[in-house]
Structure formats: structure tokens, C-alpha cells
Amino acid sequence: MIITSEFYPYPGAAASRTEALFDLLNLTRVSVEVLTSKSVRGENKKSTKSIFSLPDHRSSLARRFIQEILMALDFSIRLFFRRNKINICFITSPPFFMASICALFAKLFKIPYVFDVRDRYPSILFEQSLINKQNILGKILLLVEKVIYTNAKVVTFASSSRYFSTKKELPQIRTLLIRNGFDEKYYPQKRNSIKFSEFTVIYHGRFGRLYDYGKFVEVIKNVKQLDPAIKFKVVGDFNEECRNKLAGFADIYSALPLDELAQFVSRCHLGICLLKECDSCSHVIPAKLYDFIGAGIPFLASGGSEYRKFIERNTVGIDVSGCNSMQISEYIVKLRNDSEFYNTYCSRIINSRLNYTRKRQFQPLVNLFK
């Protein structure tokens, strides 16, 4: 049983990650069912939907907490009635509160579970001063995290820094490093994508708490002054304030299904992903970077040590951590106007992209379920 707030065809990181696991497990003839939110439209892949929608990332922390609790209770009730038919659960976080409650109920119902950690919750809440680590709520969250990890059959991590730090803090638990990778189904080796006629920079996804939205807007405005021929396309679920700030500077598209998103990304020339330079961002590699690799396009990224190590080791992108908005803008202009500079990064990605397929990244996890 896969428990996830998002699932195919919903365009989100959790949906993309869990769909790949679903498909790979089916190839090994493992029977898989999915519990997900009612925000996922259409009938698909043995999924059962909650009566509650996906928690809104734009909501206040208190409102999101309530949304996640309601969905978790719905999932847990469904788990209870199917507890004798489930061998193991795969629970992906975030949403952290939802996933944590489901894990606690799985333990109560004596269902083994794998707990999948994609982001550094609850640490992110502490570092952004949304919750005080030293007060009673902070201490409860840390205790819940430890209990969940300790009782999991395996805890999986999408980033190496979080993986190694947890192994050091809790050496008794079993852990696996399962990077996101890209799905070959959507990003095949031979693509027939026709590039947009003008040099196009793409950002897709949400502007969550970790993203440096202000710097991103500054970069777009700078580039428009330096080279008006460069186009920006922004794809995702954005609030009205974001849309208003980007209006006139970027083409804005609503979130696309994963198959359409892959085609869209492949038509662009450059990806961009700017995280805030804080401790939380030092430990993550957003899934969208693997989409850029799958599409064979270079990308500019910032955020901290995990980014830098990944980029330095694999030379598949350009690290702009520590750069101001004008320096990043000048990089984009250079990539557009210096074909040799641009093609060098394209060649590096094309030559190494097969190292980052989901099939390769997920194999240790698939072996666990056989």
C-alpha cells in the first residue's frame, strides 16, 4: 500500500516519485494499491481517494495542520479495514503531519511500513521560526519523528545529507538513500521535442517556503533588460500575488499533467531553481533538477552544500549559490549567446543522464518489496 497526498496524474514531486515506485513494483508482479487525496482527478492505477483534498501549501501552518490531520484520519480508517490484506505500507512525507499520523496508526495496526523522507520536516519548521524547537510542540514533533523512524522497517531519504545525518543520529535504524531521478517513461532517450524558437528558461512546480521567489523575480526583470529576446515560462500552481508579480515578465501556465510537463520542459533551453541559502536548503535536491537532466537541458541552481556537491561531482548544471540576481542574469545571457559554453553543458548532461533514471535510483527500494 502506497500512502501519498499526490499521485498520477497530479503534477507534483510526491506524485512523480510514488508513480515510479508503483510502476516498478508492478513490473516485479507485486500487487500495489494507493491511498491518495481527492485532488487527484480521474480513475487510475488502483488508487483509492480520500474524501479530503490535498492540503494547501499556501495556507497558514495551523490550517494546513488541520487539513493534514483530517486526511490522515481518513487514510488511517481505511488502513484499519484493510489491515489483514496489507503486507507493508510505503508512506511518503511531506505532508509531514499527515505522513506521521499514518505511520503511527500503521504501527498501532501492526502493519510494517517504510517511511519516505523527501524534505527535512520538522526541521524546516524550526529553522523558519514557524515553531519553536524548545517549546512543548517542538519537543513533541522531535519525539514523533524519532518514534516513526525507530519503528519503520526502513526509512528512505531523497537527499544524501539527510541520509547520513540520520544514520549518525540513529545508527540503530535501517536506512536507504533513494534519490528522485527522472522517469524514462516521460523522458525517453530519444525525444522528438522541437525547441521553442526563442531561448527559453523554465521554472516548474510551486514556490514553497524554501524557494527564493524574490530573487527569481529580480533575475527575470534583469534578463529582460539585458536581453529581451530571452523568454521565461513558469508552470505550476501559483497564488494571485505570484501571478501579478510575474505578469508581463514571464509566460505563466497552470500545472500540467506529468506527461505534458515532460514534453513542455524538453522544448525549453534552460532550467532554473533558486532556493534560499539557509540550513534547510543545504540538505535538499528538488525533484525538478532531475526533470531538467531527463530533458537534456542545463540548469542554474542555488541552495547550499547538497547542490554544490551534486553539481561538482556530476557537472550537469551551474551552481549559482552566493551569486546575486544580476550575476545569475548574466549567466543566463551568456548561455544564450555563447553556443560553445551552452553546448558543453548540454553534452555533459546527455552523456551522463542515464545515471539518474528512476529505475536505477529506485532498485534498492524495489528489492525490499520483493
Q: Check if the beta carbon of residue 184 is closer than 8 Å to that of residue 191.
A: no
How far is residue 350's CA from residue 304's CA, in Å, rounded to a whole number? 25
Rounded Cα–Cα distance for residues 31 and 28 (Å): 9
Cell triple for 248: 508581463
Q: What is the pLDDT of residue 219?
A: 95
- Give the DSSP per-residue string, 66-78: HHHHHHHHHHHHH
Please give the grid coordinates belonging to residue 328: 545569475
Residues in Cβ contact with 46 at an 8 Å cutoff, skipping those fewer than 6 apart: 32, 33, 34
How confident is the model at residue 223, as a pLDDT? 96
**Beta sheet of 175-177, edge-to-edge order:** 47-49, 34-36, 2-3, 89-93, 113-117, 154-157, 175-177
Assess contact for 116 and 92: CB atoms under 8 A: yes
What per-residue confidence (pLDDT) applies to 305?
64
Chain segment 50-71, per-residue pLDDT in tens: 898 887 766 777 888 899 999 9
List the end-to-end C-alpha distance of the chain, in Å, as a whole number: 14
Sheet of strand 270-274: strand arrangement:
251-253, 231-235, 200-204, 270-274, 299-302, 318-319
DSSP 275: B
Instruction: For the chain, list residues with pLDDT below 70.
Output: 42-45, 57-58, 191-192, 279-282, 304-305, 307
Cell representation of residue 191: 525525444
Per-residue confidence (pLDDT) for residue 42, from 0 to 100 = 61
Residue 345 dihedral angles phi and psi, to the nearest 5°: -70, -35
What pTM did the predictor assign? 0.83
